[in-house]
Each structure stands twice: as C-alpha cells, then as structure tokens.
C-alpha cells in the first residue's frame, strides 16, 4: 500500500535527514514521490517523526540563541519557518492517526502529533524568542508583516510568556497534559466503531440500494455499522423504531465509559490552566483572540439567534408532532425518531420524497458537480494529480489558475475500519509564495460505488460542500508571504463561515 507520507515529502529517502534539506517547505516538487511507500510499520513512522523533532529542536535552539540585530528577514522569518516546520509535521502525523491501515500506525501518528504539539507549546512560552521578536522594528514594513508580528506577540503574551520560569514550566506541563487527554479521547472514539445486527425483515423502509449493499451473513443477520453511510439511512428511513434506537444508542455511547473520565479530567485541567494564566475560566481564555471575544458576547449572540429562530422552530416542531401523532399515536418526539419523522413530514407536506432525491446524488456525480461549481465560482481548473496514494479509495487533484499551480488536494471519501469516522479537513501544508504549496486532505465517510450502491443523502452532499469549503479556504487563501497568516488563519469563530456559505449551493436546484 502506498502511504500518506508519500504525498508530503518527495525526492528524498527516509534515511535522508531533514536537517540536510535547505528548507523542508521550499519546493512544491517535494510533495510528489514515495518516501514511505510499501506499507512501512509503525517503527518507520516513528523514525520519520524523530527526524522532524530533531530538525525542529535544531532550529528552535538556533532561534533562541540568535544575536542582534533582530530583523524581519532574520528573526521573524526564522520564527515563521520554525512554525511552518512544526505545523507541517503535526498535520502530517495527525493525518496518519486518522487514515493509516493498522492501529499501530495510527497510534504512531497520534504519538508524533502529541510530540509536535508539546514542542509547539515550548516555543509559545520561550522568553528568548519573544524578546527577539519584540525587538524587531516593523515601522517600514508592509501591513501584512506588521499585522503578523503584532498577532504573534499577542499570542505569546496570552500563553503566559511574561511569567517567571517556574510559572511557565507549570503552564507547559499543564498544556502537555491537556494535549495528551485530548489525543486519547479522540483515539478512543475513532477506534470504537459500533456494530448491530438485524433480521432482513427489520429493514423495511430503507432504500433498496442500501439493502442490496447489505446482504445477510452466514447467521442470516444483516450487519449495520455506526459509519455515516449506515447510520444516516437507518435513522432516516427504517420503519423499525427499535432498530433506530438500538443503532443510535450504540453510536452515541462509543468509547464509553473510558472517555467519561477523560472528559472530566480535561475540564479540570483546563480550569487549572485558566487559573495559572489569571483568567476566571477556560472560556474567557479561549475567546480572547476571537471576534466574539468574551463569554458574555457569545451568550448574547446565542440568545439573539434563539429569539430569531424560535418561531420557525416552534412551527417545525408542531408539524413534526402532527406527523408523528398520525403514524404512531402516543409516541413522543425524540432523537430516536426525529430524522424518520422529518422525512415523512417533508413527503406529506411538500410531496418531496427524500428517497427520490437520493437518485440524483450518486457519489461520482456529486464530486464532479462540486468540482464544476468550484471551477465556475472561482474561475479555477481542477485536474487529476498523478501521485502515490495511501489507499485505493483515495483520489488526488491539482488546482490551477490558468497554467499557474495554486495547490493540491486529496479526497479520502469512504469508510473503512479504524479510519476517522466523521468528516474533516486537514491543511497538510499552507502556502508561502515561492516556498511552499498549499495541500489539503478531506477525510470523509460517504457511500462508495456507482448508481446501485453509491447514493448519498442530501445532508451528506451538504457535508461534502462544507468540508470542500475549508479545502478551498486553505488553497485559495494560501498565496501569502508568511506561513503564519496563510490559508485558514483568521479568527477562529470565522473559520466556518466560508464553508457555511458554500453549503448553500446544495439548496439551488
């Protein structure tokens, strides 16, 4: 099997140390070729991680030891390159943790991601680096450079760089604990793929293409997973309420009880971090650099949204309850039946059959439709990219503006055991003009196959568009002079806005 790392660094071998490269980020050509082909084991991934860490530590030490003069070209550039290296290593191994074909390799990916995150925490608390950056004069610099330096210094200060060495060490240790808890929580959830079995007679109401793709096993039972291509159709169409409830309970209790204790620990550690940094709570700390920058502003905004949406929500709930009373008198509306009742209400009130809508949403057709929309909306060209891949399901593409290459991306679109079970975007590389090319991967779990088996729900099309919006944000926003403000580098509470806007095209016939 070709490996995901093959897409990231090329024209080198695993034995070639990163330190020997002038700049790991410098050439788009490095993103083709097979550095880790033919299914290496977890030890090979760990060795790759060791090289990243070694090179990062070398550059970290050099930046801390840098002597005056501290300038944009020497100091801010060295810091930006250091951040680029750390981010890219972390993104690479985070992607390994989601997509590799064995638990051992996924664990190796997660372990390296934790190592890279911990080193990043140290950088963010480095008093020498902060002092060097603080001494950089940007009076004559362009607006982007002035903005980047100002934002960077503010981030150091929020991290607690002004505290004494003892307090900074306590903050660092706590940050590392928080990272470890979060990683273990996510890994537990990813590995906890649930399965239920049902008699063929219990599948009434489900689409025929779904039933055909789920033949009974030797025991005469149909195996149904908590993967999205199974979960959503069962919750939406299965007439058997017991089956819907059973599958949803299995889905919602994945990684329980082991993650319950971790979640409690995470809340505790976050509050301790807020206390160390002199904030009343973690929410205050988290929101300081966002557009809605206090918990009070967030609460007021949510209350405003609630007030605006409440009348429509009440009308919708009333309609759903009327439909439920007709098909199942005495039953209460709940999370176990709301999707099923919703499709009945849509059919009843608008003469719209969601199962008929599915016929228009074959995966290959949806993917091409999203490409066509992107090419029309943004005046770009999407072309196949011939490059090593880590699984037969994965596809690779390049984005061009005329003949100018803007970026590349991967679609890992279908479920498989051990893979990340939802949908997300990872910016594997961010763009720096003349140095690095933006590269993204979409990890999704959509139906696979042709017309007989690859039909998607309307909501899944919406999800595809949403995640593709993040991908476009990284690539089209990746033509920048600084890594630190490239791609998705805006305030965190704006990050979903471009994707939410792109979703709207699913409602345009």
Digit-coded pLDDT (tens) for 377-408: 999 999 999 888 888 889 999 999 999 999 99
pLDDT above 60 (res 365)? yes
Pairing of strands 404-412, 439-443: parallel
pLDDT above 90 (res 159)? yes
Confidence of residue 21 (pLDDT cuts 50, 70, 90): very low
> 194-212, pLDDT tens digit by residue?
999 999 999 999 999 899 9
Could you write out the three-class secondary structure of 151-187?
Answer: HHHHHHHHHCCCCCHHHHHHHHHHHHHHHHHHHHHHH
Confidence of residue 27 (pLDDT cuts 50, 70, 90): very low
Which pLDDT score is estimated for 268? 98
Distance CA 347, CA 209 (A): 20
DSSP 286-338: HHTTSSS-SHHHHHHHHHHHHHHHHHHHHHHHHHHHHHHHHHSTTPPP-TTTH
Distance CA 276, CA 280 (A): 10
Take residue 445 and report the two structure tokens written for it.
């779990």
pLDDT above 50 (res 12)? no
Distance CA 336, CA 345 (A): 16
DSSP annotation of 194: -
Confidence of residue 13 (pLDDT cuts 50, 70, 90): very low
Confidence of residue 420 (pLDDT cuts 50, 70, 90): confident
pTM of the model: 0.86
pLDDT above 80 (res 9)? no
| 215 phi, psi to nearest 5 deg | -70, 150
> 122-134, pLDDT tens digit by residue?
999 999 999 999 9
Q: What integer is the mean pLDDT of 84-90?
A: 92
Place of tokens 């299965």: 238
> 212-265, pLDDT tens digit by residue?
999 999 999 999 999 888 999 999 999 999 999 999 999 999 999 999 999 999
Confidence of residue 450 (pLDDT cuts 50, 70, 90): low
Percentages helix, strand, coil for the chain, rounded to the nearest 5? 60, 10, 35
Confidence of residue 28 (pLDDT cuts 50, 70, 90): very low
pLDDT above 80 (res 452)? no
Confidence of residue 15 (pLDDT cuts 50, 70, 90): very low
Take residue 239 and report the two structure tokens written for it.
């007439």
Mean pLDDT taken over the chain: 89
Is residue 446 classed as helix, strand or coil in its secondary structure? Answer: coil
């Amino acid at each position: 099997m070709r490996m995901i790392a093959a897409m990231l660094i090329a024209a080198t071998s695993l034995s070639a140390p990163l330190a020997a490269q002038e700049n790991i980020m410098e050439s788009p050509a490095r993103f083709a070729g097979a550095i880790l082909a033919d299914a290496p084991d977890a030890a090979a991934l760990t060795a790759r991680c060791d090289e990243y860490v070694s090179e990062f530590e070398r550059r970290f030490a050099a930046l801390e030891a840098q002597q005056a003069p501290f300038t944009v070209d020497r100091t801010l550039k060295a810091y930006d390159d250091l951040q680029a290296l750390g981010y890219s290593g972390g993104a690479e191994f985070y992607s390994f943790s989601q997509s590799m074909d064995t638990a051992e390799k996924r664990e190796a990916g997660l372990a390296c991601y934790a190592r890279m995150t911990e080193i990043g925490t140290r950088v963010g608390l480095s008093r020498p680096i902060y002092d060097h950056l603080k001494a950089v004069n940007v009076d004559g610099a362009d607006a982007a450079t002035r903005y980047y330096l100002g934002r960077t210094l503010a981030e150091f200060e929020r991290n607690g760089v002004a505290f004494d060495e003892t307090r900074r060490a306590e903050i660092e240790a706590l940050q590392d604990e928080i990272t470890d808890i979060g990683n273990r929580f996510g890994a537990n959830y990813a590995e906890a793929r649930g399965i239920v079995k049902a008699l063929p007679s219990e599948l009434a109401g489900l689409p025929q293409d779904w039933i055909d793709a789920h033949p009974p096993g030797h025991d005469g039972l149909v195996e149904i997973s908590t993967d999205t291509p199974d979960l959503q159709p069962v919750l939406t169409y299965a007439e058997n309420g017991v089956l819907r409830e059973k599958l949803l309970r299995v889905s919602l209790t994945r990684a329980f009880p082991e993650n319950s204790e971790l979640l409690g620990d995470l809340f505790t550690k976050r509050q301790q971090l807020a206390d160390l940094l002199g904030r009343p709570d973690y929410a205050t700390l988290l929101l300081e650099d966002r557009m809605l920058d206090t918990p009070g502003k967030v609460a007021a905004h949510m209350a405003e949204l609630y007030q605006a949406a409440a009348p429509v929500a009440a009308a919708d709930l009333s309609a759903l309850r009327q439909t439920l009373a007709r098909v199942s008198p005495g039953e209460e509306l709940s999370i176990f039946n709301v999707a099923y009742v919703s499709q009945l209400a849509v059919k009843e009130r608008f003469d719209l059959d969601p199962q008929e809508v599915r016929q228009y949403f074959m995966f290959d057709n949806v993917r091409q439709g999203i490409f066509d929309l992107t090419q029309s909306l943004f005046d770009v060209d999407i072309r196949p990219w011939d490059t090593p891949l880590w699984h037969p399901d994965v596809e690779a593409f390049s984005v061009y503006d005329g003949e100018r290459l803007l970026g590349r991306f991967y679609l890992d679109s279908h479920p498989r055991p051990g893979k990340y079970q939802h949908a997300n975007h990872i910016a594997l590389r961010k763009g720096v003009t003349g140095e690095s090319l933006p590269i993204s991967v979409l990890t999704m779990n959509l139906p696979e196959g042709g017309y007989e088996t690859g039909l998607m729900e309307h909501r899944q099309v919406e999800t595809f568009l949403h995640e593709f919006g993040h991908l476009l944000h990284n690539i089209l926003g990746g033509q920048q002079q600084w890594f630190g403000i490239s791609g998705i580098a805006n305030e965190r509470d704006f990050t979903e806005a471009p994707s939410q806007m792109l979703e709207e095209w699913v409602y345009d016939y």
